[in-house]
Amino acid sequence: MDVRSRFHQLAWGLPWLLFQLFPLADLVSEPRPVGVRIVAGVGLVVFTVAYLVAFARAFARGCAPAYRELALVAVLGVGLAVSLGTAWAGLMIYVSAAIAVTLPERWVWPAVLAATAVCTGVVAADDLLGDVFILPVMCVLTAFALRGTRYLVSVNAELLEARDELARSAVAEERLRFARDLHDLLGHSLSLIALKSELAGRLAERDPARARAEMTDVETAARRALAEVREAVSGYRQVGCALALAEARAALSAAGMTLRAPSPVPELPDPVDAVLGWVVREAATNALRHSGARTVTVELRLTDGQTELTVTDDGRGPGGAPGAGLAGLEERLAGVGGRLATGSGPGGGFRLTARVPLTVPADRVGAP
C-alpha cells in the first residue's frame, strides 16, 4: 500500500485530533505530580495511536475490524477521563468515533450511549454539566456523522466492485463475440478447404487436371479466409475514442486522478476514431506513469475538416526526451495524415495535441 493511500485512510481520523488541545493544556497547566503527568502523557500518546490505527483499518478495503485497538481506545479513554476530570472528558468523543467506524450496526448505539454516559458523568462530577454540555452531545453527533461516512464509503466500494465486474463481463462478452465471429468466418471456409483437398487427393492420379482445379479452389478459399480473419482481427483491435476515454477514466480514477472529458464524443470516421483512441490511451498511460497529476483534461474540437484532440495534465510537465510510446504515436498519426505536438501546458504540466484530417486518403486507411 502506497503512502498516499495510507494518508487518505488516516485523514478520516485526523480532524478530530483538535479536541486533544484540552487534555494537552490541562496536562501542562494543572499542578500534578510528575509521575501522573508522565503516565497521562504516555496514555494519551498510546490512545491517539490506537485511535488512528482503528480509523486506518476501518476505511481500508479488505482489513479486519480493529477490535483490539478499539478496546485499547475505550479503556484508556475511560480511564483518563474518569481519573483526570472534565478537560479529558473530550476523549470520549474519540471513543464514540472509533466505535462508530469499527463495531457492527447492532452494537454501535449501545456502545456510543455508554461512552456518552461516561462523558456526562465526568462533567457532572465536576459540576460543569451546564457549561460544557456540548461534550456529551458531540459524542452522539460524531457517531452519527461517522456512521454516515462509513456507509458512504462502503457503498462507494461496492460501486467500484460492481464497475470492475461489469468491465470483466464486457471483456468476457467481447471474447465470446470474437470467438463466434471466427467460428462463423472459418467454419465454412475450412470445411470447404478440407473437402476439396480430400477430393483433389483422390483425383490426383486418375484426373490430374480436375485435381489441379480443385487445388486452385482450395488456394482461393484459403486466401479468402485469411482476408476475412485479418479484417475481423483489425476491427477487433480497434479501440475508438469513446471507449478509450472510458478505459482512461477507470484507470485514472483508480490512481486517484480525475479525468475531464467531452461527453458524448462526436461521431468520427473510423480511421480517425481509431487513431484518436490510441492517442487517449498513450496520454493516459503517460499521466499514470510519469506525471504525478491530479487532473487530466481532454478537449476535442472539429474545425475546418480537421479533428484536434488535446490532453493536458497538471503534473510535473515534460521530462527528458520523448519515449517510445510517443514515437509510435507519431507514426500512427502520420499514417493517417495527422501530426503530434507535445510540450508544457498553459499552467504547467504536460500537454499533448493530435491533429488529424477528417478525410483520410484511401491509401492510408488501415495504416498502423
Q: What would the DSSP string read from start to end of 243-259?
A: HHHHHHHHHHHHTT-EE
- Which stretches of the chain are DSSP H helices? 3-11, 21-29, 34-58, 67-84, 91-102, 105-125, 134-203, 208-237, 241-254, 270-286, 324-335
Over residues 195-211, mean pLDDT: 83
Q: Enter the pTM of the model.
A: 0.47
Domain ranges of the chain: 3-158, 166-237, 241-364
Residue 114: what pLDDT?
Answer: 92
Look at 316 and 72; give whichever has higher pLDDT.
72
Taking all residues of the chain, what is their mean pLDDT, rounded to a whole number? 80
Q: How confident is the model at residue 12 (pLDDT cuts 50, 70, 90)?
A: low
365: phi then psi, degrees, rounded to nearest 5: -65, 130
Class of 166-237 per CATH? mainly alpha
The model's pLDDT over 212-225, given as tens digits with 9 standing for 90+, comes to 888 888 888 788 77
Using a pLDDT cut of 70, give the percent of the chain over it.
87
- Quote the DSSP letter at residue 287: I
The model's pLDDT over 60-106, given as tens digits with 9 standing for 90+, comes to 766 777 888 889 989 998 998 888 888 888 888 889 888 888 888 88
Q: Are 339 and 333 in contact (CB under 8 A)?
A: yes
- Please state which of the four CATH numbers 3.40.630.10, 3.30.565.10, 3.40.50.1390, 3.30.70.100 is assigned to the domain occupying 241-364: 3.30.565.10
Residue 10: what pLDDT?
Answer: 54
Q: Are 51 and 90 in contact (CB under 8 A)?
A: no
